[in-house]
Copies of this chain bind each other. A is one copy, B any other.
Amino acid sequence: MQIKEHFRSHLLSLQNTICTALEQCDGKAKFKEDIWERPGGGGGKTRVMANGNVFEKAGVNFSQVDGVVTPAMKTQLQLSGHYFYATGVSLVLHPSNPFVPTVHANYRYFELYNQHHQVVDAWFGGGADLTPYYLWEEDARHFHGVLKNTCDEFDSSFYPLFKKECDRYFVNKHRNNECRGIGGIFFDHLRGDEIRSIDFYRLFTQTVAEAFLPAYLPIVHKRQLLSFTKDNKYWQEIRRGRYTEFNLVHDRGTLFGLKTNGRTESILMSLPPTVRFDYAYEPAAGSPEYELQKICEMPRDWV
């Protein structure tokens, strides 16, 4: 089986596994599926659930698109082939309880072809990152720990490298370089070379994708029943404002999708369900909200 078919079939099964686990965890909401086609080639399977016991809004999207490399793709993604193929699963979960963190993950594979449809480049990318509104350090250590252990099975240099990439990417530059959350891992352009085949990176990407549920769900179970106040919810909505700003102003995937006629509703499923934008909001010094903000201002090592 070709790499892309192998990975694609893993992604479809991953989408099912994750959706089943999330529905089970939620106990109330069910995913609604929208199957869509892309005019230029390919399409996707978007799954969103809303207003659950645990998840206020959750999207787990599969897509597989292919076609001609457009001028916009050349400029924005710096791609040099004639045709492309891209497949991935992308998920964003927004819990309603402010003590349960928001999480994002994405696993993808890209192929580029010349005018004779021969593969000229191919790579894997992906990652997972956590955005808490209140922080228990044990949760941060757990999330990063699972990702590190999984990376270490492949190469002990991966976790430190991909953790740093993540801290560099999810940054609101217009907010004094404040990070969106407490990070995780982020990797891109993992290509086969003389030492390691592209299949090594396929296996790596699939394995970290499978680590998503064990990295995240135990944190949900621990925090989902904690009772919270209106003030806690208010703070969550303020921070969701920062999430919205990052996704709409800085996120390359979102902007690329929106500017190249991607399926808007699938791309913007990442936006939080309810959001507040207050002028010059500042949490009281020393409060748990203030502590969370300080943590986002300066990425730390968690494991």
Contacts and interface: CB of A to CB of B under 8 A. Distances in A.
Interface string A26-43: 000000001000000000
Interface string A59-92: 1000000000000000000000000000000000
A25 interface: no
Contact of A265 (B34, B255, B276, B280): B280
A300 to B, nearest CB: 24
B273 A269 contact: no
Q: How many copies of the polypeptide does the oligomer hold?
A: 2
A235 to B, nearest CB: 14
Contacts of A279: 48, 50, 57, 59, 265, 269
Interface stretch (A141-149, A223-231, A244-252): A244-252
Interface residues of A, number: 31
A215 to B, nearest CB: 25
A171 B73 CA distance: 22
Contact of A268 (B237, B269, B275, B277): B277
A258 interface: yes
A175 interface: yes
A44 interface: no
A107 to B, nearest CB: 21
Interface string A100-133: 0000000000000000000000000000000000
A137 to B, nearest CB: 29
A259 interface: yes
A271 B277 contact: yes
A-B CB proximity, top 5 nearest: A271-B277, A248-B248, A174-B258, A48-B279, A275-B275
